[in-house]
Amino acid sequence: MTVTTLDQPAALVRLDELPARVCAVVRRVDTDDEDTNRLKTLGICLGRRVELVRVGDPLILKIFGSRLGLSASLAMRVHVEICQPGHCALRENEGA
């Protein structure tokens, strides 16, 4: 299993535990190489801002204005840092 991290923040949340309509930044991915490549193909990689649109299985994520489904079992291997209110690029770009 590969553990990939980026600037380990104080508090991380699993992507499948992120509340709906909350924006976060991907900080750690705990997957094998095949799943890491699958996530990268979907746009889920270190430093990427994502928003959980709908909880469930599959989860619905918003990335770069597009929505995609991700299995809960794969989402539980992605750890994110919740964006601070007023400091989220996803929210800033919605009004444009």
Dihedral (Cα; 26, 72, 4, 47), 10-degree rounding: -10
Return d(Cα 95, Cα 81) in angstroms, integer.
Answer: 23
Q: pTM, whole model, 2 decimals? A: 0.76
Per-residue pLDDT of the chain (96 residues; tens, 9 = 90+): 655 555 544 589 999 999 999 899 999 999 888 898 889 988 999 999 999 999 999 999 999 889 999 999 999 999 999 987 765 655 444 443
Q: Where are the alpha helices (DSSP H) in the chain?
A: 33-42, 72-75, 89-94
| pLDDT score of 91 | 47
Dihedral of CA 65/53/55/11: which sign? positive
